[in-house]
Structure 1
Amino acid sequence: MIASVSERFDWIASDERPHRVGVLGGTFDPVHVGHLAMADAARIELGLDAVLFVPTAASAFKEGSVVASPEQRLSWCKAAVRDNAYFDVSGIDIERGGKTRTVDTLRDLRSFFGEHVRLFFIMGSDAARGLHRWSDAPALASLASFAVVPRAGHPFGSGEVSERGLDAFDFCLLDDEVLDVSSTVVRKRLASGSSVRYFVPSVVAELIECADPYRPTRQTRASDEVFGPAFERRIVSELERRVSERRLRHIRGVADMAERLAHVYGADPRRARLAGLLHDWDKGLDDEGARRRVFDLGLGIDGRMVFDMPALLHGPTAAEALRRAYPDIPDDVLQAVARHTAGAPRMSDLDMVVYVADAIEENRRFPGVQDLRDLIGEVSLEKLFFRTYRHILADLIARRKRIHPRTVEVWNSYVVDNRD
């Protein structure tokens, strides 16, 4: 017996009152607006209490053609349905593993929910026409009703049911025609670098951009190329879509300043420049977007930072997103990206270079910034970092901003060795 199928709708199993639950299965490679529209049309027309999206582990119909991993497809579905209280995602097929057969999915759901729940398997009319050829069709017909959403060019009516030997199935024919969107089209657009805006939910587009499993060039880069001009051009091109023009000027300034500081203080200039380019990768997110990013990436970040100081989140979220999207980026570069917002005790030279560069790059205009720039080469890197950190901390206090406990920890770890 399965212990759970859905965080939102497990309660239906023990409720004992009649309920109607829709099931939308598929590879969701990736999930797109057509899937969501189909589920919503079925929910409204059939009065469903809930709709479960159930991503396959490995499709029996698409062997060898599924690109994204089960974990990626599951997380994208969860992100896509989060804002709809009638939708949820079940990982039962992925947990079972192997080739997914719809008859197994429905057996598990029927066993979990019980006889007081009527299941409706939601499908397009193109798929419904071949339902009699699905694995263990007689058992399949006994487990659920089948909600058929019309698709352009694939008419499906009562006459076709008898013609195709589908009389054993209980069909509910919906009126709404689904949007003409397919995962194949979305994958092709992603592979070519075309926009998928309005094809997939924006939150899913962001997650796909981080993982980017559909673009062939990801898997052909040598590790040295992350320091080359071609990779920098690609990063800048993506940043142009992610952040404002003003923010991009700042990012370029940080990259230039980090490279300069690295030359002065003996750090690796290539790593410093790359970290400078990447440090504000997630800066285009608003507070709520930054919080969602933490949860989508599964980061164990202190709740005080998540809910009270979301402006600090873009460092660690960027580091994790970039680690997944570009596995050739060195760990020390990602660490510098993660630490540039709040700092950390025992900062590495690269960490300090990026932190300082972010504060004093040439586009910054605040009282005392030129005094900090004038210290370059005149004091040690650690002292320059401490003076910069002290300036930022004093500004936070003057503006009556919240101070994260880690900020105090960083101060305490450096203050004894940096008394003026």
Structure 2
Amino acid sequence: MAKIGILGGTFDPPHYGHLLIANEVLSELNLDEIWFMPNQEPPHKQKSESVENSDRLQMLELAIRENPAFTIEKIELERTGPSYTVDTMKILNERFPDHQFFFIIGADMIEYLPKWHKIDELIELVQFVGVERTRYSSETDYPITYVDIPAFEVSSSMIRERVQLGKTVRYLLPDKVIDFIREKHLYET
């Protein structure tokens, strides 16, 4: 049975924090692959209105290209409306009955778990993997496997703000993604 980690998010833009989390979970849990799953419309937060899905997808492809264990799962980009994890996991479990899925979430999402759509059904479909984030509690009554991740305080919103202000984003995300952002003039206004 293939063991697959899923890292969902807007990836607007993808950064080294995403890659670090994926690599640490891959290694620590001895997974076969990590599937990066960009959201169409996350129910809990807004994605940037200025960036097309095709641009987010291209940035993600550039970011993960160097690691053969990383791939992109586009299932949520193919659907319209809010992306509920329970619906996605039902489809993935049907499509890949020989896979075991591990859904990676940060401590901010661990706190939010009681509010997830059909959470009691969802915990039967997937094993949650929690990673620490400062300023958030990782305590929950839900079954979670924890993986320690080296602290790296970076967020997509911080990167967007820095680009908008003309500040450097070097060493926060891969150079190929930075080049793409500059070439397409993303996040500048």
User: TM-score, normalization: structure 1?
Assistant: 0.43
For residues 322-333 of structure 1, the aligned pairs below 5 Å read: none
Structure 2 residue aligned with 1:161: 140
Paired amino acid for 1:161:
T
Q: 2:35 touches 2:71 (CA, 8 Å); kept in 1?
A: yes
What secondary structure, in the 3-state scheme, does the structure 2 residue paired with 1:48 have?
Answer: coil
Q: Give the gaps of 5 or more residues in structure 2.
A: none
Q: 1:149 touches 1:178 (CA, 8 Å); kept in 2?
A: no
1:152 aligns with 2:129: no
**Cα distance, 1:98 vs structure 2:** 2.0
CA distance in 1, matches of 2:168, 2:185: 13
**Cα distance, 1:76 vs structure 2:** 0.7
**Cα distance, 1:65 vs structure 2:** 4.6
CA distance in 1, matches of 2:109, 2:119: 14
Structure 1 residue aligned with 2:113: 131
For residues 218-367 of structure 1, the aligned pairs below 5 Å read: none
**Cα distance, 1:71 vs structure 2:** 1.0
For residues 92-103 of structure 1, the aligned pairs below 5 Å read: 92-103=75-86
CA distance in 1, matches of 2:151, 2:56: 21
What secondary structure, in the 3-state scheme, does the structure 2 residue paired with 1:93 have?
Answer: coil
Q: 2:111 touches 2:137 (CA, 8 Å); kept in 1?
A: no
Pick closer, same or farther for the CA change 1:171–1:64 going to 2, 3 Å: closer
**Cα distance, 1:63 vs structure 2:** 3.4
Q: 1:106 touches 1:144 (CA, 8 Å); kept in 2?
A: yes
Deviation per CA, 1:77-105: give whole Å up to 9, x if none: 11111110110112111111222112222
Structure 2 residue aligned with 1:89: 72
For residues 16-95 of structure 1, the aligned pairs below 5 Å read: 18-63=1-46, 65-95=48-78
**Cα distance, 1:66 vs structure 2:** 4.5
RMSD after superposition: 1.5
Q: 1:51 touches 1:87 (CA, 8 Å); kept in 2?
A: yes
Structure 1 residue aligned with 2:168: 195
Number of aligned residue pairs: give it. 189
CA distance in 2, matches of 1:67, 1:58: 14
**Cα distance, 1:67 vs structure 2:** 3.6
CA distance in 2, matches of 1:73, 1:135: 25
CA distance in 2, matches of 1:173, 1:49: 18
Deviation per CA, 1:376-416: give whole Å up to 9, x if none: xxxxxxxxxxxxxxxxxxxxxxxxxxxxxxxxxxxxxxxxx
Pick closer, same or farther for the CA change 1:174–1:185 going to 2, 3 Å: same
What secondary structure, in the 3-state scheme, does the structure 2 residue paired with 1:130 have?
Answer: helix
Structure 2 residue aligned with 1:213: 186
CA distance in 1, matches of 2:146, 2:53: 31
CA distance in 1, matches of 2:60, 2:25: 18
For residues 9-20 of structure 1, the aligned pairs below 5 Å read: 18-20=1-3
CA distance in 2, matches of 1:59, 1:212: 24
Q: 2:127 touches 2:144 (CA, 8 Å); kept in 1?
A: yes
CA distance in 1, matches of 2:17, 2:50: 19
Q: 1:54 touches 1:90 (CA, 8 Å); kept in 2?
A: yes
Bigger relative contact order, structure 1 or 2 (CA pairs below 8 A, ≥6 apart): 2
Q: Give the gaps of 5 or more residues in structure 1.
A: 1-17, 217-420
What secondary structure, in the 3-state scheme, does the structure 1 residue paired with 2:76 have?
Answer: helix
Q: 2:89 touches 2:125 (CA, 8 Å); kept in 1?
A: yes
Pick closer, same or farther for the CA change 1:181–1:93 going to 2, 3 Å: same
User: TM-score, normalization: structure 2?
Assistant: 0.94
Structure 1 residue aligned with 2:149: 176
Give identity over the alignment, percent: 34
Q: 1:29 touches 1:66 (CA, 8 Å); kept in 2?
A: no
What secondary structure, in the 3-state scheme, does the structure 1 residue paired with 2:123 have?
Answer: helix
What secondary structure, in the 3-state scheme, does the structure 2 residue paired with 1:20 have?
Answer: strand
Pick closer, same or farther for the CA change 1:176–1:92 going to 2, 3 Å: same
